[in-house]
Amino acid sequence: MNKIDDQFVYYIESLSLEDIISIKLETIMRSLNFKFFNFPLWKSFHKIVSEALVNSIIGIASNNSEAARLLGIDMNQYRRCLKDFGYEIKTWERE
């Protein structure tokens, strides 16, 4: 299921990445009544953002080499990222 449609893209085009992250964090905090129960948000944020980057690149890249290039990392680092986030490392091509 694709979560992005034209209306959604139109709505968020004017927002910065920082705005989008802030909105998402605020909605999560509101749904939890602002109680994270000692969740280490500051320490976990790098991993959260890194995984989001990998997820988005996998969705748009044509193959593993292009995905690594778009992320600005070499293939060894890319394979390590996939492994760290629980992806099966495989060869794939998208037209």
What pTM value is reported for the model? 0.62
Q: What CATH number labels 40-95? A: 1.10.10
CB atoms closer than 10 angstroms to residue 50: 14
C-alpha to C-alpha distance for 45 and 52, rounded to whole angstroms: 11
- Phi and psi at residue 93, in whole multiples of 5°? -135, 140
Q: What percent of the chain shows pLDDT beyond 90?
A: 17
**Average pLDDT, rounded, for the chain:** 83
Residue 74's pLDDT is what? 95
CB 62, CB 93: distance < 8 Å:
yes
How high is the pLDDT of residue 77? Answer: 93
SS3 category, 93: strand
3-state secondary structure of 28: helix
Average pLDDT over residues 78-84: 88
